[in-house]
């Protein structure tokens, strides 16, 4: 909406067309799998990801949808319903089985606000990285970037959130920034432990 409001629909469409062509996942040195969302009950072999036709629109269900929209959940064993209204949640047991079956060491994903910019799950077998500090101007979350060296050692650079006073006194900011809302009225990237 902001892109349409500030610029035009054509620019928004260009971004959408670009996103529809981007790779869905990446595997770093055959050990670290990276994606936006998470795992899928429909993913049995990594070759299935290569078979996803691109460019394509994102479907409401299935492998591509899950790779972009599924979420880990510490309270779930196996697969669970996702309160986003799309895709699934998955437990630590799913992460462990997936990594063992595919001889991987780590899953790296984004898609959720995390207070410190990054957050481990499933005994450090999955990491969520969220690079936008002060998400939507509504949260006090830090952002983070992960670097991987030649030995596959991961390190994190933290992007500290702006202090509330500084954010509130930004010139020209007479109102709160708009939230990105889904059809259910929820923030598209719901906070997990982020402080308002």
Q: What is the pLDDT of residue 184?
A: 36
Residue 27 has pLDDT above 90, yes or no: yes
Least confident of 15-19, 36-40, 150-154, 174-178: 174-178
| Rounded percentage of the chain residues whose pLDDT exceeds 70 | 84
Measuring CA to CA, which residue among 63, 60, 62, 61 is closest to residue 25? 63
**Own/partner pairs, 58-67, CB within 8 angstroms, 24+ separation:** 58/20, 60/86, 61/86, 61/87, 64/24, 65/40, 66/37, 66/38, 66/39, 66/40, 66/41, 66/42, 67/24, 67/25, 67/35, 67/36, 67/37, 67/38, 67/39, 67/40, 67/43
Express each pLDDT in 168-191 by its tens digit.
554 444 444 444 434 333 344 443
Express each pLDDT in 98-136 by its tens digit.
999 999 999 999 999 999 999 999 999 999 999 999 998
Residue 88 has pLDDT above 70, yes or no: yes
Express each pLDDT in 137-160 by its tens digit.
899 999 999 999 999 999 999 999
Q: What is the pLDDT of residue 196?
A: 43
| Rounded percentage of the chain residues whose pLDDT exceeds 90 | 76
- Residues 94, 102: Cα–Cα separation, whole Å: 12
Q: How confident is the model at residue 163 (pLDDT cuts 50, 70, 90)?
A: confident
Residue 32 has pLDDT above 60, yes or no: yes
Q: What is the pLDDT of residue 94?
A: 98
- CA-CA-CA-CA dihedral for 106, 112, 118, 120, to nearest 10: -50
């Amino acid at each position: 909406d902001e892109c349409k409001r500030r610029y035009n629909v054509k620019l928004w469409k260009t971004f959408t067309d670009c996103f529809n062509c981007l790779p869905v996942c990446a595997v770093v040195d055959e050990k670290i799998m990276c994606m936006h969302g998470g795992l899928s009950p429909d993913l049995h072999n990594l070759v299935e990801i290569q078979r996803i036709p691109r460019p394509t629109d994102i479907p409401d269900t299935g492998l591509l949808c899950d790779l972009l929209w599924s979420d880990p959940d510490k309270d779930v064993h196996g697969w669970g319903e996702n309160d986003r209204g799309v895709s699934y949640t998955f437990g630590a047991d799913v992460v462990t089985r997936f990594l063992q079956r595919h001889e991987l060491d780590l899953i790296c994903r984004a898609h959720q606000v995390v207070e410190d910019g990054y957050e481990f799950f499933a005994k450090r077998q999955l990491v969520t990285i969220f690079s936008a500090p002060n998400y939507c101007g509504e949260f006090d979350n830090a952002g983070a970037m992960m670097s991987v060296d030649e030995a596959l050692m991961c390190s994190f650079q933290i992007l500290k959130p702006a202090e509330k006073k500084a954010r509130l006194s930004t010139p020209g900011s007479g109102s709160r920034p708009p939230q990105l809302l889904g059809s259910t009225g929820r923030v598209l990237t719901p906070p997990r432990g982020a402080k308002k």
